[in-house]
Amino acid sequence: MSKEEKVVFKGGTKIKKGASGITFDIIKYALLTIASIICVVPFILIISGSFSSNEVIMREGYGFLPKEFTTEAYQAIFKYPQEILNAYEMTIYYTGVGTAVGLTVIVLTAYVISRKTFKYRNVVSFLIYFTTIFGGGMVPWYLMYTTILGLKGSTFIIWFPAIMTPFFVILMRTFITGSVPDAIIESAKIDGAGEGKILLRIVLPVLGPGLATVGLFLALGYWNDWYRSSLFSTSKSTYELQFYLYNMINSAKALQEMSESGAGVGAISVPSQTTKLAMAVVTTGPVLLFYPFVQKYFVSGITVGAVKG
């Protein structure tokens, strides 16, 4: 067992770590460094490859520095700038509206089922949890929105289906339960506060980490989504960014294959590999810039319920 010695400084006490503590720190920081490198290296390769020549990438593979520096991949993506800017605008719209409405619905639902005075909270909680296990399937879901509700081609159908996620409701309920003691709510009710005032004045001010965590999950889900556009969009004006880029690279590949097969289409050269890398940079760039601002809330919010106290 290693000895520990106390050193007094500025009125406080600092405990010097023994050999085992120092060894543990070395291993800990070494593993964190390796994990960080594993996470960062792919981004470096992606950025480097997006500025490299497609032929060199195909022949020599990827590198940490661009090989035969070129911007042809970005030129291919921004060949029609108005279309991609429109896709950006629509994705920002879907992300902003969907996240705002989703957070509102999730917080209201979580608050209601967290209240022990709500008579049917167990029934509602069960119904929410039940949907995580059983579902109607994709075909009934698709037919409901297109045939029954007639929403195909609208922007509403892109953001509306994702506003309520059972996991986020359960996570928010857990956060409310752990952050706001029942005694505080009961005291507020004795003082004459209604449920709306309690939610706005007492619950919401302490929900920063929970709101940031759930909001980030919702925003990432909307930003990275392409599936709903593939199902419901009937015009390029409603395409999400991910689906627009996906559709663009597929169309370019189809034209290239037609030209190679001699189907009467002029020779077309598409930097397929570097374009995919440039697409990754274009789509993930805004998320990388936004994440540091919510990271401190995200870390504390995602560990809700991990430590009871």
The domains of the chain are located at 6-50, 78-302
Residue 292: pLDDT over 80: no
Q: Check if the beta carbon of residue 98 is closer than 8 Å to that of residue 163.
A: yes
Looking at per-residue pLDDT, the higher value among 63 and 268 belongs to 63
Lowest mean pLDDT segment, chosen from 10-14, 237-241, 283-287: 10-14
Residue 68's nearest CA partner among 267, 274, 268, 269 is 274
Please give the pLDDT value at position 217: 87
Express each pLDDT in 111-168 by its tens digit. Answer: 999 888 888 888 988 988 888 888 778 888 899 999 998 899 899 999 999 898 888 9
∠ CA(181), CA(122), CA(127), 5° rounding?
Answer: 125
pLDDT in tens, 168-225: 998 888 888 888 887 888 888 888 888 888 888 888 888 888 888 888 889 889 998 9
Residue 227: alpha-carbon gap to chain centroid: 15
Report residue 116 CA to chain centroid gap.
Answer: 32
**In this structure, are residues 132 and 166 in contact, taking their beta carbons and an 8 Å threshold?**
yes
Place of tokens 């810039």: 289
pLDDT tens for 63-78 read: 888 888 888 888 878 8
Distance from chain centroid for Cα 147 = 30
| pLDDT at residue 9, as a whole number | 46
From first CA to last CA, the distance across the chain in angstroms is: 30
**Range scoring the smallest mean pLDDT among 103-107, 263-267, 281-285, 289-293:** 263-267
Would you place residue 271 in the very low, low, confident or very high pLDDT band (cuts 50, 70, 90)? low
Q: How far is CA 242 from CA 46, 166, 194, 271, in A?
A: 17, 25, 44, 18
The CB density around residue 258, as the number of other CB atoms within 10 Å, is: 14
Q: Give the separation between CA 64 and CA 293, rounded to whole angstroms.
A: 28
Query: Which range among 13-22, 148-157, 186-195, 231-240 shows the weakest confidence by mean pLDDT?
Result: 13-22
Categorize the per-residue pLDDT at 232 as very low, low, confident or very high, splitting at 50, 70 and 90: very high
- pTM over 0.85, yes/no: no
Q: CATH top-level class for 78-302?
A: mainly alpha
For the four alpha carbons of 204, 208, 210 and 213, in that order, the dihedral sign comes to positive
Q: What is the mean pLDDT of residues 251-264?
A: 62
Average pLDDT score over residue span 242-267? 67
Helices (H) and strands (E) in the chain, counts: 14, 2
